[in-house]
Structure 1
Amino acid sequence: MNTPMDISHNKALLMLMAVACGLCAGANYYCQPLISSIQHSFHAPQSQVALTVTFAQMSYALGLLFIVPLGDIVNKTKFIPLLMLGAAIGLGICALSVNLPMLWAGTIIAGLFSVAAQILIPLVTLAVRPEKIGETVGFLMSGLLVGILLSTSLSGLLSNLIHWKMIYILSTILMLVIAAILMRQLPHVSTTRMSYSSIFRSMGQLLQKERRLVYRAFIGGCVFAAMSILFSTIAMLLTAPPFSLADVWVGVLTLIGVFGALSTQWVGKWADRGYNAKLTWAGCSIMALSWLLLYLGGHSLISYTLGYGLISLGLAMVHSCNQNIIFQLNPAARSRINSIYMTAYFIGGACGSALGVYAWHHGGWATVCLTGLGLIAAAAFFALLDQGYYRRQVQRKQR
């Protein structure tokens, strides 16, 4: 598979792609600070409204598994804008929803098709020089993560100023506009000739052959599950006493995570230089420390804010290292590899959201924090397995 061009110098196009990544990913998180407003609007139990976050992540995971692999065999220039159109339709349904089931339906449709971001990222790895992959992917990941964080802040702000549905209206319009621009500017890259069924057979072969992909997928799933526990409980904790924050302030607080999101390009540069193992351990350590601060944050908004910022930084570090490693495994199968990894990543996120709600209702904030810390310990276990396997591979090559 040949690289048709090097777009690493085209900052305007990379910025547009980063914005598209952020908009697509952010579409799945608008509801997080809106749980209380949606509950009052539809007169539904809080536990049911909180499931909207889980539905968003589960549908996104299904899109990752069944749609993203197509990126290796279809014209990405047309396919990506088409997916964004589907996401816009889902967001439009959310904007028009009159009850909770309709909101769920729109959320599921938006989640399925907003995986366009996960086809954009493998595309850019095929359009830059190999030594620029980590840095460029890090730049797009910065856009994706900032988009997630801004989505919660903006949704909370617009909910307080106008109505909670306003974020869905604006994002529908933006999704359509950016999709139209990308259709004209995305680079063309070569594809692999395969049938849809053979894609999944090859994915099974990748799982058998690429042990590091499996380990890194488990690491990603565990760390994102730990972060997603916060996604599903942040509104429940901060809108209740002793904090009693409005939606807008719940969203503003999450902006502390922008600093972590912006670190991905820097992490990508160091990952390109071979520091993946050290950065992974640093990220896991930071996330473990964050849960101690978050535990104290049950009664201190300052401690909660610091913990939220640190866990966002740790997640960005681990995720950037994971992607740097897996994209080096098999260049001809990057969409399929990304599909496997990101499916595990967002299944972990969906499980984390569900665990967060369960822990909150059956043990309170202390149980939520203990669950999050346990997931970081699981990620560290898989990091140990990955490090041991990599060392053995290096030793075999040196013999």
Structure 2
Amino acid sequence: MPSDGETATRRSDARSAFVLSRGVALLFAVACGAAVANVYFSQPLLVTMGHDLSMAPALVGSVVTLTQVGYGLGLFFLVPLGDVADRRRLIVAQLLFLVVALAVVAAARTAVILLAGMAAVGLLAVVTQTLVAFAASLAPPHERGRVVGLVTSGVVIGILLARTASGLLADLAGWRCVYLASASLTALLALVLYRVLPRHGDGEPATLRYGQLLRSTISLFARERLLRIRALLGLMIFAAFSTLWSSVALPLSEAPYSLSHSAIGALGLIGVAGALAATVAGRLNDRGLSQRTTGIALALLTASWLPLSFTRHSLWALVVGVILLDLAVQAVHVTNQTLIYALHPDAGSRLIGGYMVFYSLGSAVGAIAATSLYALAGWGAVCALGAMASGLGLGLWALTRQTAPGRLR
């Protein structure tokens, strides 16, 4: 029976023999986008789902809540498994279970089954982060930023286009068709990934038991100051991101615009520009410019709220603000992931999973605060909230930029 050291050596050899081509990196991006989109499909479908299943308005809102709760739990309880398991098998297994969860949602005839299915969809959609960690482990160190940026661009596109795609499909064939189509695509991706991906990631087949694995995720935060800083930056940028995207439909659906749901959903197409920032930020990180990229992006994020504050007077101002905000958020996000993965590549899944918990917290806080503020004080207050979250991120970067590793300038 081989020792742990021999097994780790075999894993390393298998990984080094695998060439991460641009085509395989694009496959990672597509799989990430398809998986994470499942978390957001329901948002434009809530009214239709509620009518179909005779759900009370308050209960309909819990569809989104339970999906996000499931996603948050998956980040902590499932993603770290990538550090001790064969990542190819783990990814394929999660995708196949996700197919089952999507089929349950599509076939749901009661609110209870729908809600249980949506929670399971959120839990299993964290395969996105396992894919990100796997792609980072397969990339040569000098190209890791580029690869993480490319894969993250798939995540960005999946998040922003999910609402548009689900709305169009639901108009054509009903809301259940959205989940049946996603289940079919997910099953196809599981088959392709099983055939294409190498058998081993760089996770260590260590003696860590599951409980120890989860505790080690917490201990990484206790030991690594850079991880704590980047996690806090992640919380702030995604609080700003969620502040915009959870509330922008409110002023656009009112006078003077009174836009339709389809027109508002199409706004996500503009946000896809953020995918470009993900790739560029990754390349800048490979050149050792992580700190500079972070500072410039956070300054742009703070500045984006100025044109966004004129949304009620000009759609062009909204477009400019959306582009700036998405470019900035994705630039910081890619830089964060690239830097924290480099801390301990053997614990990449735990690092990224733990970091993404802060992403979920920021998203939740931004959404709740923005919608509440809009009801109380209008769009100006929402923009002030977004600018405050962005400014806090910029301030944190300014206070801590000298403490990062010397290579980062």
The one-character-per-residue Cα deviations of 1:157-203 (angstroms, maximum 9, x if unpaired) are 22333333332221111111111221222112243211111112322
Do residues 330 (structure 1) and 320 (structure 2) align?
no
1:189 paired to 2:201 = yes
Matched, 1:84 2:95: yes
TM superposition score normalised by structure 2: 0.88
Percent of matched pairs sharing the same residue:
33
Q: In the alignment, which residue of structure 2 is the partner of 1:223?
A: 237
Structure 1 pair 103–357 and aligned structure 2 pair: CA distance change class (3 A): farther
2:297 — aligned with what?
Answer: 283
Matching residue of 1:320: 334
1:207 aligned to 210, 221, 234, which one?
221
Give the structure 2 partner of residue 113 of structure 1. Answer: 124
Runs of at least 5 residues in structure 2 that lack an aligned partner in the other structure? 1-7
Query: Higher mean Cα deviation, 279-288 or 47-56?
Result: 47-56
TM-score by length of 1: 0.91
Q: Please list the CA deviations of residues 2-27 of structure 1 after superposition, one character each: whole Å capped at 9, or x if unmatched.
A: 36226555233222211110011111
Q: Is residue 219–residue 382 contact of structure 1 (8 Å, CA) maintained in 2?
A: yes
Supply the distance in 1 between the matched residues of 2:380 and 2:63 (Cα, whole angstroms).
23
Query: What residue number does 1:266 align with?
Result: 280
Q: Distance in 2 between matches of 1:339 and 1:370?
A: 30
Structure 1 residues 129 and 350: alpha-carbon distance in aligned structure 2, compared to 1, 3 A threshold: same
CA 1:41–1:313: 2 relative to 1, 3 Å: farther
Give 2:359's aligned residue: 345
> 3-state DSSP class of the match of 2:272?
helix
Partner of 1:379, secondary structure, is helix
Residue 72 of structure 1 corresponds to 83
Residues 20 and 138 in structure 2, CA contact (< 8 A), matched pair in contact too:
no
Checking the alignment, whether the CA contact within 8 Å between 2:53 and 2:111 is kept in structure 1 is yes
Number of residue pairs matched?
393
AA partner of residue 300 (structure 2): I
Q: 1:134 to 1:302 in 2, by over 3 A?
A: same
Asked if the contact 1:159–1:248 (Cα under 8 Å) also holds between the matched residues in 2, the reply is no
- Correspondent of 1:158 among 169, 177, 190: 169
Asked if the contact 1:216/1:386 (under 8 Å) is kept, the reply is no
* Range moving further from structure 2, 132-141 or 372-381: 372-381
CA 1:121–1:350: 2 relative to 1, 3 Å:
same
CA distance in 1, matches of 2:59, 2:309: 25
Instruction: Describe the SS at the equivalent of 1:285.
Output: helix
Partner of 1:248: 262
SS state at 2:246 partner: helix
Of the structure 1 ranges 380-389 and 316-325, higher mean CA displacement relative to structure 2 is found in 380-389
Shift of 1:72: 0.3
Matched, 1:304 2:318: yes
Deviation at 1:156, TM superposition (A): 2.2
Question: Which whole-Å CA distance do the structure 2 matches of 1:111 and 1:238 have between them?
Answer: 28
Shift of 1:44: 5.8
* Counterpart in the other structure of 1:179: 190
Task: Say whether the 8 Å CA contact 1:65–1:340 is kept in structure 2.
Answer: yes
State whether residues 216 and 382 of structure 1, in contact with CA within 8 Å, keep that contact through their aligned partners in structure 2: no
Query: Residue type matched to 1:325 in 2?
Result: L
Secondary structure of the structure 2 residue equivalent to 1:327: helix
